[in-house]
Amino acid sequence: MNSRKFRLPDGAGTVAFPPSVLNHMYQFAQRRFFAREAGGQLFSPNPEHINVEVTHVSGPNPGDSRSRHGIIWHIGQANMDREKHFASERHAVGLWHTHPEEHPMPSAQDEKTTRQFLEGFHGTMTGFLLIIIGNKGDLPNMAVWLARDGTYQSWIPLVEVRDAQIEAASGTCTANCTEASVTTRPRFSP
């Protein structure tokens, strides 16, 4: 299995998910009728780089309240996960969870929860990811959104890109690429 990469808005860079992170999330895809949602947090050692890599993932945790159509994170465990990863110089950059649908879309509760996590950073972050893993495909469908804070709050679906598109966006492409302008990047860490 290969890494998967998604373009941040306005040519601001990419977010990459290596096979170890993908495998962890994929194993909880709700492929059976009675499977419960699972989820956790996403961590990166380089949240300020133009090409952010999510290298670690947490969850699900034993204290989470899980049902077919919902998950309520155990806040104490979520806080301990963040502290543990921060001690290893990894920053929380988002949340992930599963949905019992082929093409996952965020619910109103998903958006509310993501915004609550973002607001919990008290302005030290301007962006927070939400990943939803669907239940169909050899590799389950994966949808990625960015919640942005600031003057204009927004909810932006991210588009998966191939390596040539990534090189063009980062300015490292040497042939048959166009220059992409880089604008304000979301801050994923304090």
Query: What is the pLDDT at residue 117?
Result: 82
| Percent share of the chain, pLDDT over 70 | 83
pLDDT digits (tens, 9 = 90+) for 134-168: 998 888 999 999 988 765 568 899 999 976 544 45
pTM across the whole model? 0.83
Mean pLDDT of 13-42: 95
Tell me which residue has tokens 């290596």: 18
Percent of the chain with pLDDT over 90: 57
CATH of domain 4-170: 3.40.140.10
The SS3 assignment for 91 reads strand
Q: Is 116 left (phi over 0), alpha (psi -120 to 50) or beta?
A: alpha
Sequence-ordered strand ranges (E) for the chain: 4-7, 14-17, 39-44, 51-53, 56-57, 65-67, 70-72, 91-98, 127-133, 142-148, 154-157, 159-160
Residue closest to 94 by CA, chosen among 12, 21, 165? 21
- Return the residue matching tokens 């977010």: 15
Number of neighbours of residue 131 by Cβ within 10 angstroms = 26
- Domain borders along the chain are 4-170
Torsion from C-alpha of 108, 113, 118, 120, nearest 10 degrees: 140
Q: How many helices (H) and strands (E) does the chain have?
A: 4, 12
Per-residue pLDDT tens over the stretch 82-141: 999 999 999 999 999 999 999 999 988 888 888 888 888 777 777 899 999 999 888 899
